Amino acid sequence: MSAIKVVDYDPAWPALFDEQKRRISALIGTMMDQICHVGSTAVVGLAAKAKIDIDAVLRDDGLLAEAIDRIATLEEFTFHGDRYGDGMWVFTSGHGSYGTRLYLCGPGNATHARRILFRDWLRSHPEDADHYAALKRRLVVEANGDWSVYTGGKADFVAEILAKASAASV
């Protein structure tokens, strides 16, 4: 098992996102509606794994195969398919807690919508972001390198935030 590392917020993360955004846009920009920095590295001040999470939303689901083929030309990326059956096609670069995780999806993807809702809530509610950081740091110790324990340990908190954010947006 690889070690799970959560580090203090790094002000370089937005620039790392911008760099990847430029590279990805050069390959599939005409196919995309939007490209978004998601995950904890997208929340200023939030401790995170040093992995830049990116959602690239395509204009049409029919463009997925071509977009996947184009991204696959970037040698540092490894393709993992639709790992969770939610229409999010995953590429990673780096290893363990470091690198980039790129998700390709079609328009109206529910997982993407939840990620944006969660990110935006944490950006505007620093007290919840602080609780999330503390939870992640505790889970790193408890998980002892077990990614399923680490990820699963965040599920209740994420569900609670999504419920609050959904209720507030009604």
> Which tens digit of pLDDT belongs to each residue from 95-107?
655 799 999 999 9
Q: What is the pLDDT of residue 57?
A: 98
Q: Report how far Cα 94 is from the mean position of its chain's Cα atoms.
A: 14
Q: How many angstroms separate the CA atoms of 130 and 32, rounded? A: 33
Residue 17 has pLDDT above 70, yes or no: yes
Q: Which CATH number applies to 13-168: 3.40.50.970, 3.30.70.1050, 3.30.70.260, 3.30.460.10?
A: 3.30.460.10
Residue 68's H or E segment, with its range, is helix 64-71
Sign of CA dihedral 149, 151, 152, 156: positive
For the segment 115-130, what is each residue's pLDDT rounded down to a tens digit? 999 999 999 999 999 9
Q: How many angstroms separate the CA atoms of 110 and 45, rounded? A: 26
- Which of 62, 60, 64, 52 shows the shortest CA–CA distance to 104? 64
